[in-house]
Structure 1
Amino acid sequence: MMKTYKILLTTFLILMSISQFVFSQGIDTLATWELTGINVTTPPWGLSPLPAQNVSTSLTTSGWIRGMGVLFTAAGIATTGSPAGNAWGGNGWDAFTASGSNNLDSAIDRGDFVYITFIIASGARVNFTSIPNYNIRRSSAGPVAGQWQYRVGETGSFINLGSPVTWGMVTTGLGNLQAAIDLSSITALRNLSGGTSVTFRLVNLGATASSGTWYFNQLISGRDITFLGEVSLGLPFVSTRPVVQVSSNTAITGGEVHFEGNSAVTNRGVAFSTNSNPTVADSITSNGIGLGPFTSMLRNLNSGVPYFIRAYATNTLGTSYGPQILFTIRNGIFLDSINSCLGDTSSVTISHPTLTGVANASLRMTYNPDSLTYVGFNSLNPAFSGMTISGGNG
């Protein structure tokens, strides 16, 4: 008669769940710039990149950057001149070619543009919805129009946002108020996930001299440059931990809430069922609130029956789940724990009625400790490496 007994000691594995997102019902400010009072003399013409005063936690940006042709003549010579205050831009927009200064391709080739790149933060989803009203200041020899463009990703072609915008004829500090730019219908600028980069570029056209200036100008009220959007109100990020210990009718598992979303986690635990993809409508444990790891004890399980488990976390927006794990309680004797600490010795006694008088028995172990002491049964001859074994007729 051969009996087989197993002790299962498994290390934790962290598996990230697929996040689920619900976008906010309002419009969020993604980034803003205030041009009033900015320093345009140190360095000359102001910083490039020009950092934002306010940036949503859903993305990052280094700010507005001048193209390589700005502040240089068509011949590549640095321009001269004094910048206007309460504005950001430059001169040197004279992309003169055989096609003329209004040619978009020649302006791009020479670098007569300004641009900004956003990178969506890890765990976030963003919809770009609009660029509100902004103000452009120009001199009489400066660009007369500009083409807005965008690109999603680090490579590929830029796509025009409508037709070129005519800047207007006002050349004083009052500037020319521009209409808002609607981005909400552009599919490529919606549901952008963590790590995605989005670049907006504004190519200037029609300057008649390298001394001609162009600026983003201050508004009479409100932020001078703004990007608006919708930021995901994500459900929590939760991972499932595999079974680390099994007794005859219980299993120890758990999970970890890595991110709460934009609403605090009010319940977390493990859902389990004999059916795939268990939910909180099935059997669950309840193991606290908030961020961090948690341990769950699954009770009253049946040996030999496959169970599906996955961690869950709930906030006011709903419930998200970690990856699903399938396991089965095995028949036999299972040890709840073997504990040893700082050289102390722990002992475990295995007893079973059917072993009385049995001439042969075997014990197989999956283990992790550096050493373990086993007291054997009659005629039990285990062979383990990395363990201290004492046995005999005890």
Structure 2
Amino acid sequence: MNKFKIFSLALVATASVAQAQDIKEAKKAIDAEQFQKAKSLLKSIIKAKPSDGEANFVLGNIYLNQSVIDSAKIYYLNGIEASDRKNLNYIGLGQIDLDNKNAILAQANFGLATKDMKRKDVDEYIYIGRAYMNSVNPDYNSAITSLKRALAIEPQNATALLAIGDAYYGANNQNDAYKAYRDAFTADPTLLRAKMQLGVLLKGAKSYDEAIKAFNEVIALNANYGPVYRELAETYYKWARNKPSTSKTNLQNAITNYEKYLSLTDYSLDSKMRHADFLILVKDYKSLETVANKMIAEDKVNPRIYRYLGYSAYENGNIDVALKSLEDYIKVPTNKIIAKDYLYLGFAKIKKGTAADGSVEASAFDAGLTDIKKAVAMEPLAVEDLGDFGKELFTKKQYNQVL
């Protein structure tokens, strides 16, 4: 009997270790932007052990960050019924509250997540910090406050240092972001995202050659770390745009590195959407419309696809498709609306009201102009995208509209 008990305990211990390793593997897959792989791992964990609240929470986070709100909520609510680490799921529900601009309810959920924390626990503070950053309505100062609480307990926690670096970066505090990323990589030299973010800071400062050097240092450590190739692609693209004399070479470098990035992901919907974002950057709207239609055929759940279809349909002259896609996307309150969404909707409304002789129906122009003004109010730099559109109106002698 004693031997049987010892054997049973050994099995339980082995299962627990395997469970922890699976969670770690899922988190590694998320960091590598292999989201489909991460989902499969987490669903396997939940199937084997429904009482694992952390697995439900992490899976819910993937869905929430992909804007699949209903699925995220299902896993958070399942997680709350779990016996292990169920408190984390209140953080996920809190982020949904933040997305809905209900800060009071979010605080209540965060309170439920932290009320039974042990003295040396820090994960809850880190996840709350991420929730503030990842919300549709980000609050970087609150994120910093929560992350400082984690670091007060564990100053060398690399995950907390990386997170506070992201919070400082979001708050436009480049100096503190740089220090936090550097400290995170010092604390854990396997945390490649922290080192990669040092290059992201250089890219943001338009030090493109230095950023590329930084990214190549990451590749020297691990040539299979996919996200760094995406950052390289975006850096080469921005370099090409800011220095036209380098355009041909750097755009090709951008495409090559983006293809490398895609080859290292699992071709999940999320990686395809990142590809779509890149096609917008390089203005390849024919490919974008093809990619968007393929994504809709594969996954009718994620609403962001309709943004891509709206942009590409407009650029390719399919105005009715553009209007419907963008209107369907913008009317949903939980969707993450950006200035460019309103800009394209405004352009489409004006184009729809434009006759063969170039004249624009007054009501269509006014409706379009209202959306364009919304875009500029959200992001003043959106006026830079009015250049070609303004020239088009001028060519058609619509001088009043140009002014």
> TM-score normalized by structure 1?
0.20
Relative contact order higher in (CA < 8 Å, ≥ 6 apart): 1
Larger radius of gyration, structure 1 or 2? 1
Structure number with the higher helix fraction is 2
Structure number with the higher strand fraction is 1
> TM-score normalized by structure 2?
0.20
